[in-house]
């Protein structure tokens, strides 16, 4: 499967293939054209998909927009393709609430990127997430430092690992 392999020539091509897969899946859902969007977050949002990376996506919608079974209609074709999917369905306030409660969620949302649906909603999500992060950034720095330190303590220093973990190790 090209999305999972490195045959397409690297991250930009893997991201492009993932975007195409997600767009096609979204387009057949019958989701509303306004007030609903599929967004990529985390490494997928940054266009940095490594081989076999999860596709981190959120089906975001306005409170008054009913998405019905659109979510399942999006997820199943992606699963059927063999791609691994980390997904959620949220309103904009729910996204902000989750980012306030979980630093890892907040970090992933900093890289939100439009994939399909209402681009204006994606722009609003991005603006709201960045504003929310900026308001609380100073208070979150100690938590961010602790998160990084805990990860490094758990994995170790890269130079001293017999099986290096390039993503999580220190160094």
CATH of the domain at 47: 3.30.460.10
Whether residue 116 lies inside any domain: the answer is yes
- Give pLDDT, residue 66: 84
Whether residue 20 lies inside any domain: the answer is yes
pLDDT at 4 over 80: no
More confident residue, 165 or 142: 142
Question: pLDDT tens digit string along 19-29?
Answer: 999 999 999 98
Confidence at 158, pLDDT banded by 50, 70, 90: low
Whether residue 70 lies inside any domain: the answer is yes
Contacts of 126 by beta carbon, 8 Å cutoff, 6+ apart: 112
Confidence at 170, pLDDT banded by 50, 70, 90: low
Q: List the domain range (segments joined by +) for residue 25.
A: 11-137
Whether residue 165 lies inside any domain: the answer is no
User: Domain total for the chain?
Assistant: 1
User: Residue-wise over 114-151: b if at least 16 C-beta within 10 A, else e?
Assistant: bbbbbeebbeebbebbeebbeeeeeebeeeeeeeeeee
The answer to whether the pTM exceeds 0.85 is: no
Question: pLDDT tens digit string along 35-84?
Answer: 999 999 999 999 998 888 899 999 999 999 888 888 889 999 999 999 99
pLDDT at 3 over 60: no
H/E stretch holding 88 reads: strand 85-91
Question: pLDDT tens digit string along 74-126?
Answer: 999 999 999 999 999 999 999 999 988 888 888 899 999 999 999 999 999 99
- Give pLDDT, residue 11: 81
Whether residue 146 lies inside any domain: the answer is no
């Amino acid at each position: 499967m090209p999305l999972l392999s490195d045959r397409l020539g690297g991250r930009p091509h893997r991201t492009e293939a993932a975007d195409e897969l997600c767009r096609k899946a979204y387009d057949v859902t019958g989701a509303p054209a306004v007030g609903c969007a599929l967004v990529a977050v985390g490494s997928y949002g940054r266009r940095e998909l490594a081989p076999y990376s999860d596709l981190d996506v959120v089906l975001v919608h306005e409170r008054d927009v009913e998405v019905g079974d659109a979510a399942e209609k999006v997820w199943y074709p992606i699963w059927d393709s063999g791609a691994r999917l980390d997904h959620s369905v949220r309103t904009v306030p729910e996204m902000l609430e989750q980012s306030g409660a979980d630093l890892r969620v907040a970090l992933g949302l900093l890289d939100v990127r439009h994939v399909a649906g209402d681009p204006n909603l994606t722009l609003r999500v991005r603006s709201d997430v960045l504003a929310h992060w900026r308001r609380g950034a100073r208070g979150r720095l100690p938590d961010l430092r602790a998160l990084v330190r805990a990860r490094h303590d758990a994995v170790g220093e890269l130079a001293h690992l017999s099986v290096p973990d390039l993503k999580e190790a220190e160094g």
